[in-house]
Amino acid sequence: MKVLILGGGQLARMLVLAAAPLGIRCQLVDPAAESCAAELAPWHRIPWQALPERDDLLEWADVITFESESVPAEVLAALAARRPVYPSPQVLAKGGDRWLEKQWLQGLGIPVADHRSVQSLAELQTAVAELGCPAFLKWRQQGYDGKGQWRLHEASDLAEIWRQAEGRPAILEAGVAFEREVSLVASRNTRGEIRCYPLTQNLHRNGILICSEPQAADPLQAEAEGYARTLLETEQYVGTLAIEFFVCEGRLIANEVAPRVHNSGHWTLEGAQTSQFANHLRAICGWPLGETTLIAPTAMLNLIGRWPAEPAALAEAGAHLHLYGKAPRPGRKVGHLTLRQPDQEQLTRQRQRLQQWLEETGALPAP
């Protein structure tokens, strides 16, 4: 099989690494100035709009997929007329816009936080009055890792925040007093087979994921899987996705859907029988999905801004380093560590110790 991947970042890189053992060849398209996946597969640096004219690439590809939500909808639609595009452009359109996403999830019976559409300062003021504080103003499109998001409290200067938001279409979301944040990663193949990974508990700091830990028997697993199956089956979704939830008074409130492999699923590389990357590829190639069971207690720590590069860290038993080949830069995800231990207690101790060490060495933001 030959897969054309739209996007050339770390998710594409890990897809390429998972593709090789399955005998799948990949090529990459990304208009960005650099691609950390290009080390491992041919990279075509062209504007998205030029791609539908590239008959050579479209004829080469058996299937097209993407690693980021930044591909313009009209480009995806043009590609889908020529070759299978998985997940479908329709899903990307909904998942890539926070307002459409909320309506979509509500329509599927999946609970979401109270929210309002905001297209002007006046609408922002009204929405804040209705939903109260704390609340979050978020761009409808293109925000990620805390960018394009503002936390509003009673004393916030709404005019100033609206100015910072550049007047872009946005939504206001009521703050949810959550007990914890979890996500469900799941895959569905072209034949309708579905596999869900264990629910993963996540810790964010300044809007950036710090740590993920799959839960062996989360009491909310069945509820989360029910929502995921509804979404996957209704949309005839093909590929891997992640749904992020808040846990509030013991129930799930969906925060957002990522129609792609997801940072909170990186632990599957060593922690699950089959990684989220391998299952995404199996799904879009129409092959049986692999098992999603947890093979041992596992956690993932992101490396943000830099990797301390101390070889001593490699001596950590059960720690697995995944660097993305990216130059260090503040706030940038440059890699992650997965930790796999025979028992939960050892894992918790190691995670706490390494998290502290990464904070001290500047590879994680301090608490």
Stretch that binds a copy of itself, among 15-23, 69-77, 221-229, 248-256 (CB under 8 A): 15-23
How many residues bind a copy of itself (CB under 8 A)? The answer is 34
Give the closest residue to 79 by CA, choosing from 187, 7, 4.
4
Tell the smallest beta-carbon distance from residue 233 to a copy of itself (Å).
Answer: 20
Site pattern 91..130 for a copy of itself (x: CB under 8 A): ----------------------------------------
Element spanning 212, H or E: strand 208-214
Contact between 280 and a copy of itself by CB under 8 A: the answer reads no
Contact between 34 and a copy of itself by CB under 8 A: the answer reads no
CB crowding 285-319: b at 16 or more within 10 Å, else e: bbbebeebebebbbbbbbbbbbbeeeeebeeeebb
Q: Residues 102-108: contacts with CB within 8 Å, 24+ apart?
A: 102/171, 105/231, 105/254, 105/257, 108/227, 108/230, 108/231, 108/234
Question: Phi, psi (5° rounding) for residue 351?
Answer: -60, -45
Which of 28, 41, 57, 231 forms a contact with a copy of itself (CB under 8 A)? 41
Contact between 282 and a copy of itself by CB under 8 A: the answer reads yes
Tell the smallest beta-carbon distance from residue 300 to a copy of itself (Å).
Answer: 13
Contact between 155 and a copy of itself by CB under 8 A: the answer reads no
Residue carrying structure tokens 């990357």: 277
Contact between 20 and a copy of itself by CB under 8 A: the answer reads yes
**Side chain identity at residue 233, one-letter code:** E
Distant-in-sequence, close-in-space partners of 31: CB < 8 Å, separation ≥ 6: 45, 46, 47, 48
CB contact at 8 A, 175 and 224: no
Which of 146, 207, 290, 362 forms a contact with a copy of itself (CB under 8 A)? 290
Contact between 312 and a copy of itself by CB under 8 A: the answer reads yes
**Side chain identity at residue 363, one-letter code:** A
Which of 59, 251, 321, 329 forms a contact with a copy of itself (CB under 8 A)? 321
Residue carrying structure tokens 């007047």: 167
Stretch that binds a copy of itself, among 100-108, 142-150, 317-325, 355-363 (CB under 8 A): 317-325
Which of 325, 328, 362, 365 forms a contact with a copy of itself (CB under 8 A)? 325
CB contact at 8 A, 332 and 261: no
Q: Hey, which residues does 253 pair with through a beta bridge?
A: 246
Which of 3, 11, 17, 171 forms a contact with a copy of itself (CB under 8 A)? 17
Contact between 157 and a copy of itself by CB under 8 A: the answer reads no
Binding site for a copy of itself (CB under 8 A): 13, 16-17, 20-23, 25, 39-41, 273, 282, 286-288, 290-291, 295-296, 307, 311-312, 314-315, 317-318, 320-323, 325, 335, 340
